[in-house]
Amino acid sequence: YKGKAVKNALMLIKLLKEEIKAGGIKEKDKEREKEERD
| % pLDDT > 70, the chain | 95
Mean pLDDT, rounded, for 4-19: 93
Residue 32 has pLDDT above 80, yes or no: no
Mean pLDDT, rounded, for 10-31: 86
**Which residue did the predictor score with more confidence, 30 or 19?**
19
Task: State the Cα–Cα distance between residues 1 and 9, nearest whole angstrom.
Answer: 13
Is the pTM here over 0.85, yes or no? no
What residue segments make up the domains of the chain, in order of their start? 1-36
For residue 27, the model assigns a pLDDT of 76
Number of H helices, E strands in the chain: 1, 0
